[in-house]
A and B are shown apart, each in its own frame.
Chain A
Amino acid sequence: MMGIIDLSEATVLRGRSKVLDKWSISVNSGEIVCLAGENGCGKSTVIETASGLIPLENGSATISEQLVRDSEGRRGRPNFGLCLQDDCVMGDEIVGERILDAAGFDFDVQGLLKNWGLDHRIHDRVAMLSGGQRRKVALLSGLVPAMISETPVAVLLDEPDSGLDDDSIKNLADTLRNLAAGGHAILVSSHDSRIIEVSHRVIRFPFEEEKFDQEKGKFTLIGKGNPRKSNVGHRLNQRTLSGLANNGIAGLLTLGAMLALLDPTQLEGRILTAFILAPALTAGLCGNPIHRLSLENRAYAWWSTKSAIPQNAIIHSLILCGGLTFLASMITSGFNWQLILSGAILGAATEAVVGLLSNATLRLARPNAVMIRLLTPILILPWALVVDTLTA
């Protein structure tokens, strides 16, 4: 019978070394398994492989009998709790909202935060918190899917105790015990004796296993309300105006520079169409504004376990690029709905492609060093073809 968390025959390469070689682990309902061992022994690799963040050379990872990732590249996104070594929380997320997003349902978040001494911070941005408080938000994001579920949920925690004070670590150990009593399966990596003491199994790398009988905790289910649509990209964009500050300004600068060089009343034909559509193209070439925000604390990794689509604010981009095209159109030839619609779609599509290209390099050790912009000139071609088509 399969456990709730299953890694089967997993082979994983990191850098130039094979960290896991046909390694298997199964965590059953109601069980806490602790991974212990010195730094660099592979604990984080196990957690990240089980959560689907690292590709497998062989084998598969499943949670609640649903595929997370396998060596053929197939990927699923079942419901589970995750707290990585990095906090994976963007500085502009609001504490209360983040916990609700992690849960996927509305519930009394104030009560939960009170237990962890964070209720007075419920409306604050994560960037305003101390390191320890931010760690608690990351930890609660990993625990909350199990806290609100009657059915067994997998919880994967990578050194959740780092940066926490003694009382919080004790609270964490009690919470883990209580979640296990509720039938949830917990895979945690830790060096802390208080976490090790509540575990049913301790695996010391390289692969010595000890089993312990544990005192049973008491699980208290947190009642949940309606399912919640996260739309975190749009919310963040609205809060930070990142799209306007990056993409919008680039588009306006392009328009301003062209106005300084060209007389809009003298433009006609292809040049006029190109003039009107150029600001939207420039705005699009700046890429997904949420992508930059999600690089903070490696937040993109956590969100990628929740959704296959990277966080974005595509509706805002459509409006922004449409607005820029409207402005350029009104300055030159007057209102033209066909051009405004084309500008909106072209700019948003360009932004999405640049975002996807940037996303493709996130696995690299230095994703910011690869000069992805070298590939963006390809996006001038569709723009030029649209200009030609609309002029004809």
Chain B
Amino acid sequence: MSAMRASDMNIKGEVVAMLGFAGAAVTLWLGMMWAPSVSISAFKAPDAQRIFYWHVPSAWAAMIAFGLLFIGSIYWFFKRSDWAWRLHVASSEAGLATGLMCVWSGCIWGAAEWGVPWDWTDVRLNTFAILTLLSLYLVMGRRSQPDGVETRDTFAAFGMFGFALVPLTYIATRLWQIRHPGPVVATSEGSLNSDMSIVLFLGAISFTTLTVGYVMAGMRLTKLEMRLEELQGQYEERMK
């Protein structure tokens, strides 16, 4: 049996991720250089507001990653599918990457606009940070354990229960607007300029593409890792 299969060399995920990455770079450039400035009366630090074109799409992408994490976790838990476990692994890594992008950019904006990078009483800030920490926990915790049904069950359970924070994070600014701004897109107020909307839309598409590509590539890599472990086991059996 050949150790390599045709599907092992399929790099569609990497190509999609690179497209998303290029789109994110263009979004960042447009956001910084082309998008119109906000009113100086509405913000204390109007220039810092441009980080919004990075912050909002990365938050959007993180939510997609957390959604995929939930699907992978629940499907592994009830169907014991290797595919679902690979989705869990890849989407927890994607959630960590995009979540950190969002938290980090939010802290920069908060420091400029509010004078403090963080507010421990703001529900939106904290639930989102916890989701990111959950991804970090899943990524680091999984690497500390030998792969097996006990490891997969435990982390899948955390992935499932952690998802409860996603709707809470989403509605947080509607229920308790403490410090984080409320929604500016898809609301009746329609407060976003059309040029701003274009850049934001491009950002959302690019970050979604980047996340989907990362998850595809991550699933392939996890599959390769699992095959490597299987081959090592077969080799050790043969050596007995």
A interface vs B, CB < 8 Å?
13-16, 55, 57, 360-361, 363-366, 369-372, 374-375, 377-378, 380-381, 384-385, 387-388
A40 vs chain B, min Cβ distance (A)? 13
A57 to B120, CA, bound (A): 42
Given A16-B148, A369-B144, A377-B133, residue A361 in contact with residue B80 (CB < 8 A): no
Q: Which of A15, A371, A385 contacts B140 (CB 8 A)?
A: A371
A55 vs chain B, min Cβ distance (A)? 7
Q: Which of B121, B126, B133, B150 contacts A15 (CB 8 A)?
A: B150
A residues less than 8 Å from B123 (CB atoms): 381, 385
Pair count A-B, CB < 8 A: 81
Q: Across the interface, do A381 and B126 meet the contact criterion of CB distance under 8 Å?
A: yes
B residues less than 8 Å from A366 (CB atoms): 144-146
Q: Across the interface, do B146 and A375 meet the contact criterion of CB distance under 8 Å?
A: no
Q: Across the interface, do A384 and B154 meet the contact criterion of CB distance under 8 Å?
A: no
B129 vs chain A, min Cβ distance (A)? 7
Q: Across the interface, do A364 and B151 meet the contact criterion of CB distance under 8 Å?
A: yes
B interface vs A, CB < 8 Å?
80, 120-121, 123, 126-127, 129-130, 133-134, 136-137, 140-141, 144-151, 153-154, 157-158
B residues less than 8 Å from A57 (CB atoms): 80
CB pairs A–B below 8 angstroms (9 shown): A16-B147, A360-B158, A364-B154, A366-B144, A366-B145, A375-B134, A381-B127, A385-B121, A387-B121
A366 to B127, CA, bound (A): 28
A378 to B134, CA, bound (A): 10
New contact pairs (12) apart from A374-B133, A381-B123, A384-B121, CB-CB < 8 Å = A16-B147, A360-B154, A363-B153, A364-B150, A365-B151, A371-B137, A371-B144, A374-B137, A377-B126, A378-B127, A378-B130, A381-B130
Q: Across the interface, do B141 and A365 meet the contact criterion of CB distance under 8 Å?
A: no
A residues less than 8 Å from B147 (CB atoms): 15-16
Q: Across the interface, do A370 and B150 meet the contact criterion of CB distance under 8 Å?
A: no
A350 vs chain B, min Cβ distance (A)? 14
Q: Which of B80, B129, B136, B146 contacts A365 (CB 8 A)?
A: B146
Q: Which among A15, A372, A374 has the greatest number of chain B C-beta atoms within 10 A? A: A374
Q: Across the interface, do A388 and B121 meet the contact criterion of CB distance under 8 Å?
A: yes
Q: Across the interface, do A374 and B136 meet the contact criterion of CB distance under 8 Å?
A: yes
Q: Across the interface, do A14 and B121 meet the contact criterion of CB distance under 8 Å?
A: no
A141 vs chain B, min Cβ distance (A)? 25
Q: Across the interface, do A55 and B141 meet the contact criterion of CB distance under 8 Å?
A: no
Q: Across the interface, do B120 and A14 meet the contact criterion of CB distance under 8 Å?
A: no
A361 to B138, CA, bound (A): 12
B residues less than 8 Å from A375 (CB atoms): 130, 133-134, 137, 158
Nearest neighbor of B141 in chain A, beta-carbon distance: A370
Q: Across the interface, do B140 and A374 meet the contact criterion of CB distance under 8 Å?
A: yes
A55 to B150, CA, bound (A): 9
A residues less than 8 Å from B121 (CB atoms): 381, 384-385, 387-388
Q: Across the interface, do A381 and B148 meet the contact criterion of CB distance under 8 Å?
A: no
Q: Across the interface, do A365 and B127 meet the contact criterion of CB distance under 8 Å?
A: no
A361 to B151, CA, bound (A): 9
A residues less than 8 Å from B134 (CB atoms): 374-375
A222 to B22, CA, bound (A): 78
A274 vs chain B, min Cβ distance (A)? 9
A380 to B145, CA, bound (A): 28
A392 vs chain B, min Cβ distance (A)? 11
Q: Which of B120, B137, B146, B158 contacts A380 (CB 8 A)?
A: B120
